[in-house]
Structure 1
Amino acid sequence: MGQLSETVRSSQPSIPSLDAERVSLIEQAGLTVKQLEPLGVEVYGADVRAGLPKPVIEALEVEMANRGFIVFKQQTDLAAEELVEVSKWWGAHEIHSTHGVHPATPGRNRHIFRCSNDSRHGILGVGPQWHNDGSFEAATFSHSAYYMARAPEQGGGTHFAHQGAAFDALPKEKQAFWERLVSVNSASSVTHPVVHTHPVSGRKSVWLHLGMTGAVIERLPEDGVTIDELKQQPASVDQFRLLTESEMKTLFNDYNDLMNASFERGYGIRYHYDTGDLLYIDNWAVAHRAAPEAHMPAEQQGLRIMDRVTIKSKQDLAPHFGLPQYININGPHPFNKDGVWQAGGVGFLWKDDIRLQN
């Protein structure tokens, strides 16, 4: 298995501070911004129902790309329709919903994914492992909203890890290896790069779903050819291979170690909600998971009700090396040598003692 000392190098990952010009623009609208450490931004003084000037929205979207997430504080009693409309500020300005509707969802609004630690109020057990929302889509959601309609008395927040800073934390040899990898979703057959360049921040960022990946393809290296050159060159089938079971276990454990190390290494945060928090993530910039306490029964933790809304991306998270956006994982693989090629369910089981549900 990948050991933490081997996965994370000693240099300090970097997350940019709030930009002074954008802060000034936001403050001119009567808002106050608070930089969280090491990532994230809290916004005070907004009533999202009343809207915000377009330049302020654009400035906040860039800050999300750089710092991972923003939180509008004190947005109590948002109606489902209001939450959906406000969420159209970001990305392609459309909602991208792929989920079922819990009976307790306000108005049975199809764009609200209601989560809870009480089955009478929402879906149980969502997101226990590190992931990005919508990994089964070609155009994975650009942003997601998490509205804490009711925060539990004993806590139960969300963990966030900055995936650009996580890439920076990798040793050089693992950076080079991971940049040559493409994952295949076990449910939808969609392919995504394990390292992509964020369309707003321009940062190389890691990306791997720990719960629904059925295969990982490596583009084999070539002497004298840089990774950027490889990405631009279509390749023949014999220039790819599938990772083996042992290599998959190493990769997944290394990725999990990298995300877990974010708290001590300065690129992760355990965020605790207040009732009325409206938190937006840049889903291409940060991975997240529910804190373990979030899944504790309401009798122990207090009732937790969170509404999620997912926003359409302007573009696909497309693979490199001329690979197609979909490779049918339900059929035979097209590569010359065997490796892991597993369809359905939660994909490749890289660890026996954790619950894979996202």
Structure 2
Amino acid sequence: MQITALNGVGAEVTGVDLRRLTDRAEVELKQAFADHGVLFFRDQDLSPDDHIAFARRFGPININRFFKATPTHPEIAEVRKEKHQTTNIGGAWHTDHSYDQEPALGSVLVARDLPATGGDTLFASMYAAYDALSAGLKQTLEGLRAVHSSRHVFGAQGAYKGDAENRIGNAEAATQDAIHPVIITHPLSGRKALYVNPAFTLHFDGWTQAESWPLLSYLYQHAIQDAFTTRFVWQKGSVAFWDNRATWHYALNDYHGDFRLMHRITIEGCALS
């Protein structure tokens, strides 16, 4: 097995079959996951059961309460865009489940049906974003906490209201608000990381939204510099496994008129400090 760091964020892992991991390979992957934030695999042939078995090596599975599940495996959420649809799922910078009290450890996304062109995913490193901040701004942010919510995205009046194919549902469950440190110490690596994101962070705790926006806007633009990002081009057999505490991601919506289906499993995490 070879693990090759990429420019920006993440590492490509070759020479491994995720259906047949040895104990040694599992240990190496867990360390690489902590070090790089996102791991990319090619030429895998994972059945839904294989997908679940791989995810369970890293922790309990979170049954997503908003995404439509596959018909046969409730552990697997569909990330689907039909040919006639103009909006996709995840089409803005975000990190999954930051609105939970114990945000998700990570997500394992498997390509099932890809458009002829387009549909790539961008990733950004929140380790690198933090490291590049000035000493003064780091000191300011260390004392701040931020409020995250699911209501404005998955709620009855949220961004996905009126989705005709019911890709997103259960709006009555969109009651999660959580407060997390703006700078976290990552539970696996021990490194500092920036922990706010454009999709789910509302404002700094104790600040108004108007007061929060100038600084949050600066951090959002800072975090997506080219030096911190990687673009992953999906192919048949591709798998991405990202850490939601150390990265953001953005699913590009550049394949109108074509179909795309991905299978995602989310892994339970822990409280952040």
* Fold agreement, TM-score > 0.5: yes
Partner of 1:280: 241
CA contact (8 A) 2:122 2:232 kept: yes
Q: Find the partner of 2:188 among 169, 189, 200.
A: 200
* Matching residue of 2:57: 89
Distance in structure 2 (CA, Å) of the matches to 1:124 and 1:98? 20
Q: Which residue of 1 aligns with 2:7?
A: 37
Instruction: Assess if the C-alpha contact under 8 Å between 1:114 and 1:123 holds in 2.
Output: no
Give the number of the structure whose residues are more often strand, by fraction.
Answer: 2
Counterpart check, 1:46 vs 2:16: yes
Tell me, yes or no, if the aligned pair for 2:83 and 2:259 is still in contact at 8 Å.
no
Q: How does 1:76-225 map to 2 (within 5 A)?
A: 76=45, 78-90=46-58, 93-100=59-66, 102=68, 105-107=70-72, 109-118=73-82, 125-186=88-149, 187-217=175-205
Q: Deviations over 1:293-339 (max 9, x none)?
A: 2xx42x2xx322111110112x3124xxxxxxxxxxxxxxxxxxxxx
Q: Is the 8 A contact 2:111 2:239 kept in 1?
A: yes
Distance 1:290 1:207 in 2: 19
Give the aligned partner of residue 40 of structure 2.
71
TM-score, normalised relative to structure 1:
0.64
Deviation at 1:174, TM superposition (A): 1.6
Letter of the 2:63 counterpart: S
Q: Post-superposition shift, 1:119?
A: 7.1
Query: Matched residues in 2 for 1:128 and 1:251: separation?
Result: 23
For structure 1, the residue ranges without an aligned partner over 5 or more in a row are 1-30, 218-241, 319-358
Residue of structure 1 equivalent to 2:26:
57
Q: Distance in 1 between matches of 2:57 and 2:67?
A: 23
Larger radius of gyration: 1
Tell me the alpha carbon deviations over residues 262-305 of structure 1, each in whole angstroms, 9 at most, x when there is no partner.
x1xx2211111111111101221111111242xx42x2xx3221
TM-score (norm 2): 0.83
* SS of match in other structure, 1:190: strand
RMSD of aligned C-alpha atoms?
2.2
Higher relative contact order (CA 8 A, sep 6+): 2
Structure 2 stretches of 5 or more lacking a match?
150-174
